[in-house]
Structure 1
Amino acid sequence: MPAHTDSVDRRTTDALFTLVLGVYALMLAGATTAVTGASAACPTLPACDGLTFEEGISALVIVVLSHRVLALIVGLGLLWLTWHVRGDSVAKGVRRPIIAAVTLYPVQVAVGALAVGADTSVSVSGAHLVVAVAIFGALTVALARQLTDVSDESDIPNAGVFDRHDGVEAEMAGDDLSISAAEPGSARGPSASSKSTRMGVRSLFPGRSWEYLRMTKPRLMWLLCLVALAAMLLAGGRTVPMDRIAWTLLGGVLAVGASGVFNNVLERDVDEQMNRTADRPLVEQRVSVRRATAFGIVLAFASLGVLAARVNLLAALLGLLAILSYSVGYTILLKPNTTQNIVIGGAVGAFPALIGWSAVRGSIGFEILLLSVVIFLWTPAHFYNLALMYKEEYATAGFPMLPVVRGEETTRRHIVLYLAATMVAVAFLGALTALDWLFAVSAVVAGAVFLWFVVRLCRRKTDRAARNAFVSANAYLGVLLVAIVVDSIFV
């Protein structure tokens, strides 16, 4: 990237960040307009002819006019950005996607004009969304290139050198939220206060029940249960019986617990190498391998029994596939052997969505595949922050995580791009389902917060920034899922 002042860099970054969010808000506003049929309430451009304040303004008219005003603001912002990046003020790799976005914007406006009115065809609305995605993608690429420079691979400590794959505890999708106890710049294990809290909690449980509970990874369960609940309500709305929800969540919790126990058993030697996992029950031999294995088998059969007897056979089959995919596919095959472990393994996190939907519909529908894609794409944007924090430990263990093999700058760029891909998938989810304005607003606000933390990570390049981005990723998905739940019931 050519030399230029920090002030120019920051203005360019801030402008790109703002326009990325502006275009994203425009995408979701357009999707909401299409889903609600709001354009029929204002079938003329640029304003609604004959509209008077005395008659009052309907919510649909407000949606349409907000979309058009936002389109004007984004268009002016793109013109300013085009002028700002002229000459050598930014690298060509940043300027070219900006020019592509500006070139596509008049096309987007023209297609949008065709989409105005009550008789808009599906093809026109689809083209409008596709062009918006292209503009959003171009601006995101420009932002990623502006924030990161991957021409220098000096930050790769052991690139291309992996004589062994001992593995490390690299939990996917928020698998071990004890990361919040690690202080940046310190040893990567749990802090003294965290250990003290853990000991206090342990004293509340009789015998070794706490050790068995820990192996099930209970802090992972809330998010996966929320995924399943959102999928169920997306499938059936407020008509889903409470007993069906309860049995499905119980079967899901048991499946998550079984997967966690098997992971503890299979990675007990690896856990011993990591400060933050060295106090796990199997490592410290507070639970024997044989008993842990038996406990995992009991949980697995209990999960399949509950889902088969109280939900349906498809949900039980998906539960079995989820347990096998995590315990065998991810833990044994993917983690030690490829830098794409977490990308491919992201499919495991989508199983709760499939189970929740099938519990209501008895089949797999297009809408739930969209939610599954959201979770699949979100996983790398979430997990790579954790990988940055534990980069040195992965390198020492010879584990092929992306920051070790490709470097920190490449990893940060991947975080930006996977977040953008997630946001696009969320936009399609909003456009192609019955989700309404609440989901759209939540997606924009939560996406803005997550992206802001990612931008700050790319600027500061610290463990604390990575930790904050990691936490914001959890919050982002949580907000989206809660929005789906509320939207499906009340809106």
Structure 2
Amino acid sequence: IATRGRYPARLTGAGWSQRFTLLATLTAGAVYALLLFGSNVTAARAALVFPDWPLFDGSLLPRLSAEAPLAELQVAHVLHRLAAAIVGVIVIVTAWIAWRDGRGRSSLLPRGARPGVLALTATAAALYAAQIIVGGLQILTTLAPWTVALHLGLGAAIWGLLAAAAFYAYFEARTARVSAGSPPSPGTPGEGTTAVALSAASASRGDRVRAYIALTKPRIIELLLVTTVPAMFLAARGLPRPDLVLWTLLGGALAAGSANAINQYLEQDIDQLMSRTRRRPLPAHQVDPENALLFGLALGVVAFAELALLVNVLSAFLALVAIAFYVVVYTMLLKRNTPQNIVIGGAAGALPPVIGWTAVTGEITLPALLLFAIVFYWTPPHFWALSLRLAKDYRAAGVPMLPVVRGIPETTRQIALYSVLMVALSLAFFAVAQMGLIYLVAAAALGAGFLYQAVAMWREGTEQRAVRLYRYSTTYLAGLFAVMILDVAVPVVF
């Protein structure tokens, strides 16, 4: 409220880029998720299940009790510490980016906003360091009242500072004057905004609804959810609760839609240059850019709240991590800067099976990590096959995809390498997850087909082979995860 009062009642135009606003918003969301983890530890009375800090009962890695009730409390405690470490890195990176912008090494913020945003984020980072120490003192003093009160107060202050940074960055960007060489926000007043207004005015309600649905990329959501349900079956070793499946899929779809909508907001400039993407809602002027951004953020908030309330906090936190990773790490940091964008950015798309697993079990175990690894290593061959076909588009848009930077021979070689690793992991999953004969035979057959397509692509390097590999890779992933359900439903062992 205090931030909003400094600006005109009516804001016109879009002004500067809102990229830092997104980063600060996601960071504030991560801190809020961490507060929920802490609340869970407090409610479960799990703060003192490990009597020391920073170790776990004298060990660097936690050793869980054989007694299930105590083990559940230990898992809640460990997850809070793990989440605190992850969120700490996010807070530090946000403050570092603000400092870097203040030194003139980037231009995410208008010049007038840089000192204020840096002060807010740097203070949040400093308080976070103090918060870690106070959290440890809670354990070492066996929850002395002053440590509990200070820990809660610091958490609220850190969240408030980051929320203020997000609002401040937003309003400063909206009211900034765009000068030559500065990065205007999409939708800055001019020809493009007029086109959006005219298009929106002439569109029917049905057209607008379809445009907003298209922002979420429904086909990608379908593929992501294909890996979520089998993971839930595996975790439950049978049919999971139908209501749990429903809420997990709904939350996952909302989270994926959020990431995709924000991604389209950030990439509309290059979407206009590519024949495959120029008909998307933003380049086609079917949706106002700022409305698209708000829509994406709203989906993310609803996804987190729905998963936290109806599934569990860990699954909600992982969904938030997936959104942040796809938007910040992949879209904002990697995609336009390195040919390894798909490799690292693929971590976001590999999280849905882990979310499905944690929805059932409430913890991350080795089989869940192996499911993550299978999808992670599947991602580069799948998207590099597509980028081979669309290399001209990516070159025109200035996106350094591997085929554009390294050429066809190196791309096909790496496709073959990642394919071998992926198939090996899928076979290792047989032993790790104690799967049956049905899975082993199907995984071997599907993997052999994938390797055949990858090797043929390596040898020939043609567009036709790229199309075949791309299509088969989709069939492979869906088939492999479908077989997991069949294997659980019809157990056949040696």
SS of the equivalent of 2:206 reads coil
1:38-57 maps to which residues of 2 (within 5 A)?
none
Change (3 A) 1:205 1:237: farther
Listed one character per residue, the Cα deviations across residues 152-199 of structure 1 (whole Å, up to 9, x for unaligned) are xxxxxxxxxxxxxxxxxxxxxxxxxxxxxxxxxxxxxxxxxxxxxxxx
Task: String of CA shifts for 1:100-140, please: whole Å, max 9, x gaps.
Answer: xxxxxxxxxxxxxxxxxxxxxxxxxxxxxxxxxxxxxxxxx
Equivalents in 2 of 1:381, 1:342: separation in Å?
10
1:451 Cα offset (Å):
2.1
Please give the alpha-carbon distance, in whole angstroms, between the structure 1 residues aligned to 2:349 and 2:397: 25
CA drift of 1:457 comes to 2.3
1:397 matched to which residue of 2?
A: 397
**2:460 aligned partner:** 460
| Alignment check: 8 A CA contact 2:274 2:394 kept | no
Opposite residue 300 of structure 2, the aligned amino acid is A
Corresponding residue of 1:433: 433
Q: How many residues align?
A: 289
Give distance in 1, aligned partners of 2:372 and 2:247.
Answer: 21
1:330 partnered with 2:324? no
Q: 1:233, 1:475 → 2: CA distance?
A: 20
1: distance between equivalents of 2:353 and 2:239? 18
Deviation, structure 1 residue 458: 2.9
- Residues 204 and 370 of structure 1, relative CA distance in 2, 3 Å threshold: farther
Which segments of 5 or more consecutive residues in structure 2 lack a partner in the other structure? 1-202
- Say if 2:404 is the partner of 1:408: no
Aligned to 1:302: 302
For 1:269, what is the secondary structure of its paired residue?
helix
Structure 1 residues 213-249: Cα deviation after superposition (integer angstroms, max 9, x where no partner) = 1110000112211111111111112152111111100
Which residue number in structure 2 is paired with residue 385 of structure 1? 385
Residue of structure 2 in register with 1:113 after alignment: none
Q: Once the 2 structures are TM-superposed, how far is the Cα of residue 205 of structure 1 from its aligned partner?
A: 7.9
Amino acid paired to 1:472: Y
Matches within 5 A, 1:417-432: 417-432=417-432
Q: 1:277 to 1:240 in 2, by over 3 A?
A: same
Paired position in structure 2 for 1:273: 273
Structure 1 residue 296 displacement after superposition:
1.1
The residue that corresponds to 1:220 in the other structure is 220
Please give the secondary structure, in 2, of the residue aligned with 1:450.
helix
1:453 Cα shift? 2.1
Map 1:232-381; keep pairs closer than 5 Å.
Answer: 232-381=232-381
For 1:231 and 1:436, the matched residues in 2 are separated by: 15
In the other structure, the counterpart of 2:487 is 487
Pick closer, same or farther for the CA change 1:289–1:204 going to 2, 3 Å: closer
Structure 1 SS opposite 2:228: helix
Q: CA RMSD in A?
A: 1.6
Q: Which amino acid aligns with 2:358?
A: S
> How many Å separate the matches in 2 of 1:217 and 1:412?
27
Q: Percent identity?
A: 40
Q: Distance in 2 between matches of 1:391 and 1:204?
A: 36
Q: Hey, what does 1:15 align to over in structure 2?
A: none
Shift of 1:204: 11
Change (3 A) 1:239 1:284: closer
Matched AA of 2:466: A
Distance across 2 between alignment mates of 1:425 and 1:451? 13
Compute the TM-score of the two structures, normalised by the length of structure 1.
Answer: 0.57
1:472 lines up with 2:472 in the alignment: yes
Which is worse superposed, 236-245 or 419-428? 236-245
Q: Report how far residue 459 of structure 1 moved.
A: 3.6
Distance 1:373 1:338, change over 3 A: same
Q: Which amino acid aligns with 1:265?
A: Y
Residue 485 of structure 2 aligns with an amino acid whose one-letter code is V
Which amino acid in structure 2 is aligned with residue 367 of structure 1? P
8 Å contact from structure 2 (residues 275, 393) kept in 1: no
CA distance in 1, matches of 2:239, 2:332: 41
Match of 2:260, as an amino acid? G
Partners of 1:419 and 1:329 in 2: how far apart?
Answer: 24
Equivalent position SS for 2:350? helix
Tell me the amino acid that sits aligned with residue 489 of structure 1: A
Match of 2:87 in 1: none
Give the equivalent residue in structure 2 for 1:88: none
Deviation at 1:288, TM superposition (A): 0.2
Shift of 1:363: 0.9
8 Å contact 2:233–2:240 — kept in the other structure? yes
Q: Report the secondary structure of 2:464's partner residue.
A: helix
Q: Distance in 2 between matches of 1:488 and 1:247?
A: 22
Q: Give the superposition deviation at 1:303.
A: 0.6
Unpaired segments of 5 or more residues in structure 1?
Answer: 1-202
| 1:259 to partner: Cα distance | 0.8
C-alpha distance in 2 between matches for 1:319 and 1:333: 19
Deviation at 1:340, TM superposition (A): 1.0
Moved more, 261-270 or 239-248: 239-248
Greater relative contact order (CA < 8 Å, ≥ 6 in sequence):
1
Q: CA deviation at 1:370?
A: 0.7
Matched, 1:230 2:250: no
* Letter paired with 1:361: T
Separation (CA, whole Å) in 2 of partners of 1:447 and 1:345: 23
- How far residue 390 of structure 1 moved from its aligned partner, in angstroms, is 1.7
Q: Secondary structure at the match of 1:277?
A: coil
Runs of 4+ deviating beyond 3 Å: none
Q: Secondary structure at the match of 1:322?
A: helix
Q: What letter is aligned with 2:296?
A: G
Deviation string, structure 1 residues 73-112 (Cα, Å, up to 9, x no partner): xxxxxxxxxxxxxxxxxxxxxxxxxxxxxxxxxxxxxxxx
- Aligned residue in 1 for 2:173: none
User: Structure 2: how far apart are the matches of 1:287 and 1:399?
Assistant: 24
Measured after TM superposition, the shift of residue 438 of structure 1 is 1.0
> What SS does the aligned partner of 1:276 have?
coil
- The normalised TM-score by structure 2 is 0.57
Q: Would the aligned equivalents of 2:273 and 2:396 in 1 still touch at CA under 8 Å?
A: no
Query: Does structure 1 retain, via aligned residues, the 8 Å contact 2:366–2:432?
Result: no
Which 10-residue stretch deviates more, 309-318 or 397-406? Answer: 397-406
Supply the AA of the counterpart residue of 1:428: A
